[in-house]
Amino acid sequence: MKKLEGRTALVTGASRGIGRAVAERFASEGANIAINYVKNSEAASEVVDIALKFGVEARAYQANIGCENDCAQLALAVIEDFDKIDILLNNAGVGSTAIQRPNIVEATNEQWDRLMSVNFWGPVWLCRNLVPHMRQVPRSDVIMMSTIAVQALSPRFGVYAVSKSALEAMAHTLAREEKCHGMRVNIIAPGLVDTDMGRNVVNATGFGNNIREVDSKSPFGFVCTPEDIAATAVHLCSDDGRYITNQRITVAGD
Protein backbone atom coordinates (compact mmCIF):
# COMPACT_ATOMS: atom_id res chain seq x y z
CA MET A 1 0.00 0.00 0.00
CA LYS A 2 1.22 3.49 -0.81
CA LYS A 3 2.20 5.61 2.16
CA LEU A 4 -0.41 8.36 1.66
CA GLU A 5 -3.20 6.33 0.09
CA GLY A 6 -6.60 7.97 0.62
CA ARG A 7 -5.26 11.26 1.89
CA THR A 8 -5.68 14.70 0.34
CA ALA A 9 -3.09 17.47 0.51
CA LEU A 10 -2.99 21.16 -0.28
CA VAL A 11 0.57 22.20 -1.18
CA THR A 12 1.19 25.91 -1.58
CA GLY A 13 3.79 27.20 -4.02
CA ALA A 14 3.63 23.84 -5.80
CA SER A 15 4.40 24.85 -9.39
CA ARG A 16 8.18 24.75 -8.86
CA GLY A 17 11.00 23.93 -6.48
CA ILE A 18 10.30 22.22 -3.19
CA GLY A 19 6.53 22.56 -3.51
CA ARG A 20 6.51 20.83 -6.88
CA ALA A 21 8.71 17.99 -5.63
CA VAL A 22 6.43 17.51 -2.62
CA ALA A 23 3.26 17.52 -4.74
CA GLU A 24 4.70 14.97 -7.18
CA ARG A 25 6.03 12.72 -4.40
CA PHE A 26 2.75 12.91 -2.47
CA ALA A 27 0.86 11.91 -5.63
CA SER A 28 3.25 8.99 -6.20
CA GLU A 29 2.40 7.83 -2.68
CA GLY A 30 -1.35 7.92 -3.38
CA ALA A 31 -2.43 11.34 -2.10
CA ASN A 32 -4.89 13.54 -3.96
CA ILE A 33 -3.27 16.92 -4.53
CA ALA A 34 -4.47 20.53 -4.58
CA ILE A 35 -1.68 22.43 -6.30
CA ASN A 36 -1.42 26.12 -5.48
CA TYR A 37 0.46 28.55 -7.71
CA VAL A 38 0.58 32.32 -8.01
CA LYS A 39 1.65 33.07 -11.61
CA ASN A 40 2.84 30.16 -13.73
CA SER A 41 -0.31 28.30 -14.73
CA GLU A 42 1.58 26.28 -17.34
CA ALA A 43 4.00 24.89 -14.75
CA ALA A 44 1.11 24.13 -12.39
CA SER A 45 -0.67 22.25 -15.18
CA GLU A 46 2.46 20.17 -15.71
CA VAL A 47 2.37 19.14 -12.04
CA VAL A 48 -1.33 18.27 -12.35
CA ASP A 49 -0.59 16.07 -15.39
CA ILE A 50 2.21 14.26 -13.56
CA ALA A 51 -0.01 13.68 -10.51
CA LEU A 52 -2.86 12.34 -12.63
CA LYS A 53 -0.55 9.68 -14.07
CA PHE A 54 -0.35 8.19 -10.58
CA GLY A 55 -4.12 7.68 -10.59
CA VAL A 56 -4.96 10.34 -8.00
CA GLU A 57 -7.12 13.45 -8.18
CA ALA A 58 -5.23 16.67 -8.84
CA ARG A 59 -6.24 20.26 -9.52
CA ALA A 60 -4.42 23.58 -9.75
CA TYR A 61 -5.52 26.72 -7.91
CA GLN A 62 -4.23 30.23 -8.51
CA ALA A 63 -3.93 32.22 -5.30
CA ASN A 64 -1.54 34.76 -3.82
CA ILE A 65 -0.77 33.34 -0.38
CA GLY A 66 0.16 36.86 0.76
CA CYS A 67 -3.47 37.96 0.30
CA GLU A 68 -5.99 37.10 3.01
CA ASN A 69 -8.95 36.96 0.65
CA ASP A 70 -7.07 34.68 -1.76
CA CYS A 71 -6.29 32.29 1.10
CA ALA A 72 -9.92 32.20 2.17
CA GLN A 73 -11.12 31.55 -1.38
CA LEU A 74 -8.45 28.89 -1.91
CA ALA A 75 -9.53 27.04 1.22
CA LEU A 76 -13.19 27.14 0.20
CA ALA A 77 -12.40 25.91 -3.30
CA VAL A 78 -10.28 22.93 -2.28
CA ILE A 79 -12.79 21.81 0.35
CA GLU A 80 -15.60 22.03 -2.19
CA ASP A 81 -13.65 20.15 -4.85
CA PHE A 82 -12.08 17.44 -2.70
CA ASP A 83 -14.54 17.26 0.25
CA LYS A 84 -11.62 16.50 2.54
CA ILE A 85 -8.25 18.14 3.14
CA ASP A 86 -6.20 16.35 5.78
CA ILE A 87 -2.69 17.57 4.89
CA LEU A 88 -1.72 21.23 4.63
CA LEU A 89 1.84 21.95 3.54
CA ASN A 90 2.64 25.65 3.83
CA ASN A 91 5.51 25.88 1.38
CA ALA A 92 4.96 29.14 -0.55
CA GLY A 93 7.57 31.69 0.45
CA VAL A 94 9.52 34.79 -0.51
CA GLY A 95 13.27 34.91 0.14
CA SER A 96 15.67 37.66 1.11
CA THR A 97 17.01 38.12 -2.41
CA ALA A 98 13.52 39.15 -3.56
CA ILE A 99 13.86 42.31 -1.43
CA GLN A 100 17.60 42.87 -2.09
CA ARG A 101 18.69 41.53 1.31
CA PRO A 102 18.48 44.75 3.34
CA ASN A 103 19.94 45.13 6.81
CA ILE A 104 17.35 45.16 9.60
CA VAL A 105 17.43 48.92 10.16
CA GLU A 106 17.42 49.67 6.45
CA ALA A 107 14.47 47.46 5.51
CA THR A 108 11.35 49.41 4.56
CA ASN A 109 7.85 48.66 5.76
CA GLU A 110 7.06 47.44 2.25
CA GLN A 111 9.95 44.96 2.34
CA TRP A 112 8.90 43.68 5.77
CA ASP A 113 5.28 43.41 4.64
CA ARG A 114 6.18 41.47 1.50
CA LEU A 115 8.01 38.72 3.39
CA MET A 116 5.71 38.65 6.41
CA SER A 117 2.55 38.47 4.30
CA VAL A 118 3.62 35.34 2.41
CA ASN A 119 5.96 33.63 4.89
CA PHE A 120 3.91 34.18 8.04
CA TRP A 121 0.44 35.60 7.46
CA GLY A 122 -0.39 33.28 4.56
CA PRO A 123 0.03 30.16 6.70
CA VAL A 124 -1.94 31.84 9.50
CA TRP A 125 -4.82 32.61 7.13
CA LEU A 126 -4.82 29.11 5.65
CA CYS A 127 -4.76 27.50 9.10
CA ARG A 128 -7.62 29.74 10.19
CA ASN A 129 -9.70 28.55 7.25
CA LEU A 130 -8.65 24.89 7.09
CA VAL A 131 -7.82 23.68 10.60
CA PRO A 132 -11.49 23.63 11.77
CA HIS A 133 -12.28 21.47 8.73
CA MET A 134 -9.26 19.24 9.34
CA ARG A 135 -10.37 18.53 12.91
CA GLN A 136 -13.15 16.36 11.50
CA VAL A 137 -10.80 13.54 10.44
CA PRO A 138 -9.03 11.13 12.83
CA ARG A 139 -5.60 12.26 11.65
CA SER A 140 -4.43 15.43 9.95
CA ASP A 141 -1.03 17.00 9.33
CA VAL A 142 0.25 20.55 8.94
CA ILE A 143 3.80 21.09 7.79
CA MET A 144 5.46 24.50 7.80
CA MET A 145 8.42 25.00 5.46
CA SER A 146 11.02 27.07 7.30
CA THR A 147 14.77 27.55 6.82
CA ILE A 148 18.14 27.23 8.54
CA ALA A 149 18.30 31.03 8.28
CA VAL A 150 16.35 31.00 11.56
CA GLN A 151 19.31 29.27 13.21
CA ALA A 152 22.08 31.10 11.37
CA LEU A 153 20.71 34.66 11.82
CA SER A 154 23.21 35.87 9.24
CA PRO A 155 23.59 39.55 8.32
CA ARG A 156 21.29 40.69 5.51
CA PHE A 157 19.00 37.67 5.96
CA GLY A 158 17.28 39.15 9.00
CA VAL A 159 13.90 40.05 7.51
CA TYR A 160 13.59 36.56 6.08
CA ALA A 161 14.70 34.96 9.35
CA VAL A 162 12.21 37.00 11.37
CA SER A 163 9.32 36.01 9.10
CA LYS A 164 10.21 32.33 9.38
CA SER A 165 10.85 32.59 13.13
CA ALA A 166 7.29 33.85 13.53
CA LEU A 167 6.08 30.93 11.42
CA GLU A 168 7.92 28.47 13.65
CA ALA A 169 6.51 29.97 16.85
CA MET A 170 3.02 29.70 15.39
CA ALA A 171 3.64 26.07 14.39
CA HIS A 172 4.85 24.98 17.83
CA THR A 173 1.83 26.58 19.49
CA LEU A 174 -0.60 25.12 16.94
CA ALA A 175 0.87 21.67 17.57
CA ARG A 176 0.00 21.90 21.26
CA GLU A 177 -3.44 23.37 20.64
CA GLU A 178 -4.54 20.84 18.03
CA LYS A 179 -3.01 17.60 19.35
CA CYS A 180 -6.33 16.73 20.99
CA HIS A 181 -7.91 16.72 17.52
CA GLY A 182 -5.42 14.21 16.11
CA MET A 183 -3.43 16.85 14.26
CA ARG A 184 0.34 16.59 13.87
CA VAL A 185 2.14 19.88 13.23
CA ASN A 186 5.80 19.86 12.25
CA ILE A 187 8.42 22.14 10.71
CA ILE A 188 10.92 21.31 7.98
CA ALA A 189 13.92 23.64 7.89
CA PRO A 190 16.01 23.11 4.75
CA GLY A 191 19.48 24.44 4.20
CA LEU A 192 20.60 25.42 0.71
CA VAL A 193 18.42 23.60 -1.83
CA ASP A 194 18.87 23.40 -5.60
CA THR A 195 15.89 25.61 -6.49
CA ASP A 196 15.40 29.03 -8.08
CA MET A 197 15.58 30.58 -4.61
CA GLY A 198 18.71 28.60 -3.75
CA ARG A 199 20.44 29.63 -6.95
CA ASN A 200 19.55 33.27 -6.28
CA VAL A 201 21.14 33.03 -2.84
CA VAL A 202 24.32 31.52 -4.30
CA ASN A 203 24.59 34.30 -6.87
CA ALA A 204 23.76 37.10 -4.43
CA THR A 205 26.20 36.01 -1.73
CA GLY A 206 29.16 35.37 -4.01
CA PHE A 207 29.41 31.64 -3.30
CA GLY A 208 29.66 31.02 -7.04
CA ASN A 209 28.17 31.74 -10.42
CA ASN A 210 26.58 28.31 -10.58
CA ILE A 211 25.07 26.23 -7.80
CA ARG A 212 27.10 23.24 -9.01
CA GLU A 213 30.19 25.11 -7.79
CA VAL A 214 28.80 24.69 -4.27
CA ASP A 215 28.52 20.90 -4.47
CA SER A 216 32.09 20.28 -3.36
CA LYS A 217 31.65 22.60 -0.37
CA SER A 218 28.39 20.94 0.72
CA PRO A 219 27.89 18.01 3.12
CA PHE A 220 28.29 14.67 1.31
CA GLY A 221 29.54 16.50 -1.79
CA PHE A 222 26.24 17.72 -3.20
CA VAL A 223 23.63 20.43 -2.66
CA CYS A 224 20.33 19.24 -1.21
CA THR A 225 17.59 18.62 -3.79
CA PRO A 226 13.85 19.35 -3.60
CA GLU A 227 13.31 15.59 -3.65
CA ASP A 228 15.26 15.28 -0.38
CA ILE A 229 12.81 17.67 1.27
CA ALA A 230 9.84 15.86 -0.26
CA ALA A 231 11.04 12.58 1.23
CA THR A 232 11.04 14.13 4.69
CA ALA A 233 7.53 15.50 4.18
CA VAL A 234 6.24 12.07 3.13
CA HIS A 235 7.79 10.48 6.21
CA LEU A 236 6.16 12.99 8.55
CA CYS A 237 2.70 12.59 6.97
CA SER A 238 2.78 8.80 6.67
CA ASP A 239 2.17 6.14 9.28
CA ASP A 240 5.95 6.12 9.76
CA GLY A 241 5.57 9.59 11.30
CA ARG A 242 2.36 9.02 13.22
CA TYR A 243 4.03 9.65 16.59
CA ILE A 244 5.89 12.80 15.53
CA THR A 245 4.50 16.24 16.26
CA ASN A 246 5.76 19.64 17.40
CA GLN A 247 9.19 18.93 15.89
CA ARG A 248 11.57 20.98 13.79
CA ILE A 249 13.41 18.79 11.31
CA THR A 250 16.55 20.41 9.87
CA VAL A 251 17.47 19.03 6.44
CA ALA A 252 20.88 20.53 5.81
CA GLY A 253 23.34 17.62 5.92
CA ASP A 254 24.78 18.83 9.23
Domain extents in the chain:
8-192+227-242
What's the per-residue H, E or C state across 36-101?
Answer: EECCCHHHHHHHHHHHHCCCCCEEEEECCCCCHHHHHHHHHHHHHHHCCCCEEEECCCCCHHHHCC
d(CA 13, CA 252): 21
Is residue 192's pLDDT more than 80?
Answer: yes
Per DSSP, 220 falls in state: G
Residues that are catalytic = 160
Is residue 230's pLDDT more than 90?
Answer: yes
Is residue 206's pLDDT more than 90?
Answer: no
Tens-place pLDDT, residues 110-157: 999 999 999 999 999 999 999 999 999 999 999 999 999 999 999 999
d(CA 118, CA 193): 19
Tens-place pLDDT, residues 9-28: 999 999 999 999 999 999 99
Is residue 204's pLDDT more than 90?
Answer: no
Percent of the chain with pLDDT over 70: 99
Please tell me the least confidently modeled range out of 38-47, 198-207, 229-238: 198-207
Give the pLDDT of residue 209.
Answer: 74
Mean pLDDT of all residues belonging to the chain? 96
Q: Which CATH architecture best describes the domain 8-192+227-242?
A: 3-Layer(aba) Sandwich (3.40)
Tens-place pLDDT, residues 65-123: 999 999 999 999 999 999 999 999 999 999 999 999 999 999 999 999 999 999 999 99
Per DSSP, 32 falls in state: E
d(CA 183, CA 245): 8
What is the arithmetic mean of pLDDT over 37-57? 98
